[in-house]
Structure 1
Amino acid sequence: MWRATSDWFAVHYVQILIAIGAAVVIYLLLATLKELGKRHKGRRGATIGYTNVLGRTVAKTTHFFMVMVAARLVAGYADAPPVISRTVIFLFTIATVLQAAIWAREVILGLIERKTLAEDGQGETLANAMGLIRVLVTVGLFAIAAIVVLDNLGVNVTGLVAGLGIGGIAIGLAAQGIFSDLFAALSIIFDQPFRRGEAISYDNTTATVEKIGLKSTRLRALTGEKKVISNANLLQKEITSYQTLDHRRLKFAIGVIYQTPPDVAEQIPDILKAIVDDLGATFVRSGFVGFGGSSLDFELEFEVYLPGWDDIYLIRHKIGLAILRQFNERGIEFAYPTQTTFTAAPDGRMIMPYAEVQPVKSVDLDH
């Protein structure tokens, strides 16, 4: 082997020198690209874009990979002996597999950071999750890279793959709660069913999101208490978000007594509409909806185009008081549940619940 190599150097020394020069040029070009990547990788913790992710990925190019790329590109120019060609190809394969794992790691972590840091208030969540995410991504990618390298060395990796699969299942079962909440946190960050500061409701709870953590989400209820719920449990519920709600539709159910004259009842929708318009809300509809057990039932629907619940609450309060005031001024009585009991004599004749008024006879005292 050494004799063949020395003979190759003696015969092809000119081509070898040219190949070495070309390899140096290729290496310098790759090193220049790496430096450009370093200039565009951005600062850790700051909001990053796709250019920064690409810059971070390129900046992680190893010198070993650049050397092997240069050697692989010029190896065939000088008609190298088979042993040298096989060695270059083998080392190039190892360098490429490892470099691909490094690049994939940077792309995945960079995209996660870009997505999370672009949202206000998610930096702390990312900082809590990033350590574990980095370990999981690194172990997974380099395990795959190691299997590929061993396979290229001629090692039978079937048993190794099976062992890794069984080990992964065991670890997953042992830490399924942690992984479940971790992936739920990432799902909240990426899918964004809600954000920090939004008002949401689930089950019988209405609260404002204070913090989205690695394992749990912390909320502040409208009544003031702090609620903590695991991310996995929260995502299994039907969540209503009020953040993007530009208006709210409110309803009033109004009942008046059956003694209300029809012409007065006919005026009620117009009265309600005037009240809503005067107070700055948007009238939707109002009308008679049915005969209740103790009332003639009317319904009022209106919309309030205000973002804050406090403002909406105040408008509803004012409209309710205005309805009460208008009805009192017009003599319209609100109904409330009442019952009247009637009794009958044995012959079926109705007996009034109060005594009958007896006629008064006049008496002439002069006679």
Structure 2
Amino acid sequence: MSTKNVTAPREPLIKPDGIQQQLSSLTHESVQWLRFHWLQILIAFAVGAAIVLALHAARRLGARLCRRDKSGTGWLTIVGRAISRTNTFFMVMLAAKLVVGYAGAPEQVSKTVNFLWIVASVFQFATWAREVILGAIEHRTQSEHYAGEALLSAMGLIRLLVTFALFAIAFVVVLDNLGVNVTGLVAGLGVGGIAIGLAAQGIFADLFAALAIIFDRPFRRGDSVTYDTASGTVENIGLKSTRIRGIDGEERIISNKNLLDKEILNNTLRNHRRARFAIGVAYETPQESLESLPALLKEIVEGEKLTFVRAGFTGFGASTLDFEVQFDSDGPDYASFYNGRTRVGMAILRRFNEQGINLPFPIQTNYTAAPDGKLVMPYPAETPALGATAGSSTEPARQA
């Protein structure tokens, strides 16, 4: 005896009869609501219409703000662009939400309006946020000191990333408010984001470093900077790297992330440059001259129209009494600083020669010794020629 398995037909998830019944119930409840609450509905509708008209006027105002800003990237344009992106569907649902809340709509009508209001409001706020964020980035990148071809071309990628992130969050928020379990979806998005981030972490690190340079502004194009042991002038701030023209004419290319990880000296923002001279005078210099030396150095610096900082005695050297003078050249210009330092140096030499202050140079003297290490004395009356006697010579040697 054979048996056959007969599979019962699967019932459809959405039945046409069920849809028709729900529509019929919604229509009936709406008609009853209109019959018994027509006055409240009219009042709420009038208020809602006024709100819609006010939002339309605000949208036109936003468009006028954009036209008023001549730069095209100012904050008036950013605010105006965000306001002008207000959607008509959002305006209508805002008015409907007020009508439903004031006039006591039936449950099915209220649920329908709440659903549409959540969708409209969440995506409208995402649109506003996108316009403000992108406008702020464009406002920074449009500066003449930060505008670069690579960075401006990156705006397309930045716009895509910001739009995707904001609307993905908006989509998840809508589903969560509708009662959908979004735990799995959030986990999936998180895993996907981690995978993409690991695959392109170098690119994203340099991209965010470029944005940090734009917003924090540690330097700008045309600034003279020093990092590590290198110096140069910033020529271009790009998406992945910054190009710096070295002081010897070479072009240095360093990734934005590595550059920000270093200590950067912005020489263009200096309010002064400081010079120091170490001066050694002979031990036989008179005491009065030694005591007046700091005042003399101050007089020399101020005579060259530079800012005197300090001057004084620093120590007892092997063959000199050591002094130091410090002075500043106002402003960041290196050429002015260099020329001022030269003038002060020449003036010190001139004044010291006039007053007979000796600046001795180091001298090296070789002595002749016996095999037991004792010095051989006395020296010959006449010093032999250099190289004539291997055993004894006296040879002054200047050190650079």
Normalising to structure 2: TM-score of the pair?
0.80
Aligned residue number for residue 54 of structure 1:
79
User: Is the partner of 1:98 in helix, strand or coil?
Assistant: helix
Q: Does 1:355 find its partner at 2:386?
A: no
1:122 to 146, 162, 179: 146
**CA shift at 1:252, angstroms?**
0.8
Aligned residue number for residue 12 of structure 2:
none
Q: Is the 1:342–1:353 contact (alpha carbons within 8 Å) kept by the matching residues of 2?
A: no
Aligned residue number for residue 88 of structure 1:
113
**CA shift at 1:111, angstroms?**
2.6
Aligned residue number for residue 335 of structure 2:
310
Aligned residue number for residue 155 of structure 1:
180
Look up the equivalent residue of 1:170 and give its one-letter code.
A
Residues 319 and 179 (structure 1 numbering): CA distance in 2 closer, same or farther, change over 3 Å?
Answer: same
Q: Is the 1:287–1:300 contact (alpha carbons within 8 Å) kept by the matching residues of 2?
A: yes
Deviations 1:73-127 (A, max 9, x none): 112444433211110111011111111111111222223333444x442233752
Q: Does 1:141 find its partner at 2:151?
A: no
**CA shift at 1:301, angstroms?**
1.3
d(CA) in 2 for partners of 1:175, 1:349: 75
d(CA) in 2 for partners of 1:65, 1:251: 69
d(CA) in 2 for partners of 1:182, 1:348: 73
d(CA) in 2 for partners of 1:78, 1:299: 88
Q: Does 1:65 find its partner at 2:90?
A: yes
Aligned residue number for residue 107 of structure 1:
132
Moved more, 223-232 or 316-325: 316-325
**CA shift at 1:37, angstroms?**
1.6
Residues 85 and 341 (structure 1 numbering): CA distance in 2 closer, same or farther, change over 3 Å?
Answer: same
User: Is the partner of 2:148 in helix, strand or coil?
Assistant: helix
Aligned residue number for residue 269 of structure 2:
244
1:165 to 190, 203, 224: 190
Residues 180 and 353 (structure 1 numbering): CA distance in 2 closer, same or farther, change over 3 Å?
Answer: farther
User: Is the partner of 1:249 in helix, strand or coil?
Assistant: strand
d(CA) in 1 for partners of 2:217, 2:341: 31
Aligned residue number for residue 361 of structure 1:
none
Residues 290 and 14 (structure 1 numbering): CA distance in 2 closer, same or farther, change over 3 Å?
Answer: closer
Aligned residue number for residue 234 of structure 1:
259
Aligned residue number for residue 274 of structure 1:
299
Aligned residue number for residue 319 of structure 1:
344
Deviations 1:19-73 (A, max 9, x none): 5444333322221111112211355963412x43322221111011011001111
d(CA) in 1 for partners of 2:101, 2:297: 91
Unpaired segments ≥5 residues, structure 1: 358-367
d(CA) in 1 for partners of 2:375, 2:46: 125
d(CA) in 1 for partners of 2:221, 2:155: 19
Q: Is the 1:45–1:123 contact (alpha carbons within 8 Å) kept by the matching residues of 2?
A: no
Residues 194 and 352 (structure 1 numbering): CA distance in 2 closer, same or farther, change over 3 Å?
Answer: farther
Cα RMSD (Å): 2.8
d(CA) in 2 for partners of 1:264, 1:14: 105
Look up the equivalent residue of 2:200 and give its one-letter code.
A
d(CA) in 2 for partners of 1:154, 1:269: 83
Q: Does 1:212 find its partner at 2:237?
A: yes
Look up the equivalent residue of 1:123 and give its one-letter code.
A
Look up the equivalent residue of 1:106 and give its one-letter code.
E
Aligned length: 355
d(CA) in 2 for partners of 1:270, 1:25: 81
d(CA) in 1 for partners of 2:332, 2:136: 33
Q: Is the 1:249–1:304 contact (alpha carbons within 8 Å) kept by the matching residues of 2?
A: yes
Percent of pairs identical after alignment?
Answer: 53
Unpaired segments ≥5 residues, structure 2: 1-24, 384-400
Aligned residue number for residue 364 of structure 1:
none
Q: Is the 2:311–2:325 contact (alpha carbons within 8 Å) kept by the matching residues of 1?
A: yes
User: Is the partner of 1:254 in helix, strand or coil?
Assistant: strand
